Amino acid sequence: MAMHLIITEKHDAANKIAGILFPDRSAERHGGVTVYRSKAAGAAVVGLAGHIVALDFPGEYSRWSAHPPSTLIGAPIVSVPTKKDIIGALASLAPSATKVTIATDYDREGELIGVEAYNIIHRLTKAPFERVHYSSFAKQEIEQAFARPVPLDFNLAAAGECRQEIDLVWGAALTRFVSLAGNKAGKDFLSVGRVQTPLLAIIVDREKEILAFVSKPYWELVATLLKGQEAFTAGHAKGRFDKKEEAAAIHKKLGKTALVKGVLRDRKKEPAPVPFSTTEFLKAAASIGYSAASAMQVAEELYINGWISYPRTDNTVYPATLDLRQTVGMFKASPEFAKSALELLGQKTLTATRGKVESKDHPPIYPVACASKTQMDERKWKLYELVVRRFFATLSPPCEWEMVKASIDISGEPFISDGKRMSAPGWRKHYPYGMPKDEVIPPLAVGDVLAVKKVDLLEKKTEPPRRYGQGKLIETMEKLGLGTKATRHEALSKLYNRGYIEGNPPKPTQTGITLIDALKAHAGAITSPGMTARLESDMDGIAESRLRKDDVTGESKAMLRTIFDQLESHRADIGRTLRAGSAMDSPIGPCPKCGSPLVIRETKADKRKFIACTGFPECRNTYNVPPGTLKFDKKACEKHKLHIVKVTPPSIIDSQGKKVKGKPYEYGCPACKKEAFYKPP
């Protein structure tokens, strides 16, 4: 009996596609994996849960002590099954297949995931393989995609596999080196990556600019003027005064009347924004409070549920095949969007803005179905609304502003008053995010005499540069060629997970700063975006059949060997820098004997807690602490620099059988306690 086997990237996608293509579909379990069947069509749809195999080194390389970091550069790489249940299901279904369709996401990773499934299935069947591309789960698009299949793109998959291999070798070798050098092996290892480390360097460099910034005072003169009863302000034309004496001398001579010397009026058009690429979407999401990782997670959910198009795209130009009027028309009856939709449909033409990047894989992010606020939670709704309103904005006329610049004389001194007023909202009517405020000044004409209500001499200070927000960092990564649209937010998440950055906007921890300091001092290429951007470009060359995968991986290993020559010769200096940085981030403090961070450990036998030095086995310094929950105060011992320990003893059962909570108390500095205990009589 003929069977059409369809492979999707995830379970939810399998469910969605099966529901669109096969009205009679039913779900069954196949070796623990859900398979959607259609008896009428003779079809089976299976979701893969992402990658089902992974690249790794052979098992013996997991012993750090047996294999120095540099040996990983030339170590063999093997493919390891990661989803054995799904692989088993594919293997059992394959012999019955008479046609196989790969319907994974259409990008580098999706093509590789599809080829992973192909490698398992094609050995067990002679069935032909085909590939379908789609950018949304709209019924019409899915049906059209399956009506127009194409061959698998093995070059695109090879580019994805090349990235996996390069990231494995670079990440494992460099991570192992810096972790061993900094005595941070085990669960507290120091992670280094081809993309994440240059990103961390960008964050650290900005933090150093902030720390090095020396604030300087300056002064401004701001006059409050009256035309009739209407007050407005004007600033001295010089703007900033570096010397207070100069500003004070002018301030002293200013009289009580002002004369309007000139009025310039202008109209300015503010063009509508371009369609959402992934980077533009993440920037906009960041402005309404989403982290890059959470925005992508929600966007993926909206895509899978059929509300928006594929969220990983560089494209900023809608395809000619997208029916703009029909897409807007979906919202005519929407309680939330009908007003905007009807206004846009009333335009004679709908002409979309165009960004600088036009690609053929996926369109920009846009809504593919009309949802109401009751169909999703607030977290999803805010981003869905953002996508809808951005789509509307890209089809709208410019926003128009009336600009006024008045030149005003006060006792022979020039002052300027700027005003602006929105005269036609245009696209901003539909997209209210980041709406600037009107700055209204009264109607003025040359020769008008104004009353000077007061003039303030304001003392201000120059301010340091701001930390980069997550949206700005994603944009910077794109400009520098760091990572891809699908991986940039993941690199940022890794920095948070490894404790290299904290807060939002991201601030580097001392561990993060010292990691970059150590690498910049002795192997700066690791922290520079240039080498990573070159490898990303080479991987694009593989996808476009211009380069061979083996040549690119060989080039990357040659780069890494050069870096290791530099690292190995400065291992001791790197280790000292890393240990010092980790100690500064430790909640306990630095080891008084060697300077390495102190951590809480437990004995294997009775799970008793104690404080130990991470410099083990070279440094075996330890401190006993009482049983219970430990907290470390912000204040530290002046002598040992260790944070004061506070203890909440374990609960006890009293004589009446009741559970009594322990009363917290201050234990003190563990080093002082140890000295007192061992002090000779």
Strands (E), 13-124: 26-30, 33-38, 43-47, 53-56, 78-81, 99-103
C-alpha span between 451 and 466 (Å, rounded): 39
8-state DSSP, 485: T
C-alpha span between 206 and 72 (Å, rounded): 33
The torsion region of residue 145 among left (phi > 0), alpha (psi -120 to 50) and beta comes to: alpha
C-alpha span between 299 and 420 (Å, rounded): 36
Catalytic machinery residues: 310
Burial-class residue 570 by CB neighbours within 10 Å (0-12, 13-18, 19+): middle
Q: Which helix (H) or strand (E) holds 623?
A: strand 622-624
C-alpha span between 115 and 425 (Å, rounded): 50
Q: How far from the centroid of its chain's Cα atoms is residue 360's Cα?
A: 25
Do residues 543 and 505 make contact, with C-beta atoms less than 8 angstroms apart?
no
8-state DSSP, 319: -
The torsion region of residue 680 among left (phi > 0), alpha (psi -120 to 50) and beta comes to: beta
The torsion region of residue 54 among left (phi > 0), alpha (psi -120 to 50) and beta comes to: beta
Q: How many Cβ atoms are within 10 Å of 79's Cβ, its own excluded?
A: 13
Sign of the torsion angle spanned by Cα atoms 72, 73, 75, 79: positive
Do residues 189 and 172 make contact, with C-beta atoms less than 8 angstroms apart?
no
8-state DSSP, 348: S
C-alpha span between 111 and 312 (Å, rounded): 14
Q: Which helix (H) or strand (E) holds 155?
A: helix 154-181
Tell me the one-letter amino acid at 131: R
Beta strand pairing status for 413-424 and 399-410? Answer: antiparallel
Q: Phi and psi (nearest 5°) for 477? A: -60, -40
C-alpha span between 412 and 254 (Å, rounded): 8
Sign of the torsion angle spanned by Cα atoms 14, 16, 22, 23: positive
Q: How many Cβ atoms are within 10 Å of 575's Cβ, its own excluded?
A: 19
Q: How many Cβ atoms are within 10 Å of 213's Cβ, its own excluded?
A: 12
Q: Which residue has the tokens 């002046």?
A: 638
Do residues 284 and 296 make contact, with C-beta atoms less than 8 angstroms apart?
no
Residue 207 DSSP SS3: helix
33-38 β-sheet, strand order: 26-30, 33-38, 43-47, 4-8, 99-103, 129-131
Residue 248 DSSP SS3: helix
Tell me whether the omega of the peptide bond preceding residue 617 falls within 30 degrees of 0, making it cis: yes
Beta bridge partners of 451: 226, 257
